[in-house]
Chains A and B, each alone.
Chain A
Amino acid sequence: VQLLESGGNLVQPGGSLRLSCAASGFTFSHYAMSWVRQAPGKGLDWVAAITGSGGSTYYADSVKGRFTISRDNSKNTLYLQVNSLRAEDTALYYCAKDGEYFDANFDFWGQGTLVTVSS
């Protein structure tokens, strides 16, 4: 199993980014996926989840309405569209593989992509 995140960058408050997570080594469409972030020197913070088919999505209250999780099973890729970014969104964003259903058993994690929100 390999998860490779990309798309992180320095962005101004109010800006947008699209994060990607390329998956390999397992049947991507069979598994739910999540994004989890970690601010510098802080703990883990779950952001969003999506089922294997992409038919259901779930969000933390702190990002609802600003972030959108999606996936392209034909490309084995998970996405996170992040809009209206705030300073408190500055973090390392990990993608994490879940089980066949969204049950928050994150058994594999990527190395993360860094999002920095600053003027």
Chain B
Amino acid sequence: SYDLTQPPSVSVSPGQTANITCSGHHLADNFASWYQQKPGQSPVLVISQDTKRPSGIPERFSGSNSGNTATLTISGTQPIDEADYYCQAWDSSTVVFGGGTKLTVL
């Protein structure tokens, strides 16, 4: 089965840039998406198809995907961005999620 690996946790100071990585074999051959999930809430799509930002998602969220690694970048991180973040890949017949990264803003 295809595995996606994320760091369990990332810490960032308010106003700084947070980078959350997602690693998988030849990940760039598949589209990567990113979801934000706050405690007690349903996931929210923040990046689709590697780099697309859905309507309503702040511009500080961006994505990239190259080689074996996809990256979610949050520029000017705000306290409200503290959440769990999941990467996800799709290959026409199956969907895989990464294990999730807890972003702490302190």
Contacts and interface: CB of A to CB of B under 8 A. Distances in A.
Interface of A: 34, 36, 43-46, 49, 58, 60-61, 94, 103-107, 109-112
Contacts of A44: 35, 37, 43, 86, 88, 97, 100
Majority DSSP secondary structure for residues of A touching B? loop
Contacts of B90: 103-104
B7 to A, nearest CB: 13
A61 B95 CA distance: 11
Given A61-B1, A109-B43, A110-B42, A46 B33 contact: no
Contacts of A61: 1
Contacts of A34: 95
Interface in B51-105: 54, 84, 86, 88-90, 93-100
Contact of A43 (B33, B45, B86, B93): B86
A106 B43 CA distance: 9
Nearest to A43: B100
Contact of B33 (A45, A60, A94, A104): A104
Contact of A104 (B44, B86, B88): B88
Interface string B15-49: 00000000000000001010101000011110011
Please give me the 3 A-B residue pairs with the lowest Cβ-Cβ distance, nearest first: A104-B90, A46-B95, A109-B42
Given A34-B95, A44-B37, A109-B43, 15 more contacts: A36-B43, A43-B98, A43-B99, A43-B100, A44-B88, A45-B97, A46-B94, A60-B95, A103-B90, A104-B33, A106-B43, A106-B45, A107-B45, A107-B48, A110-B42
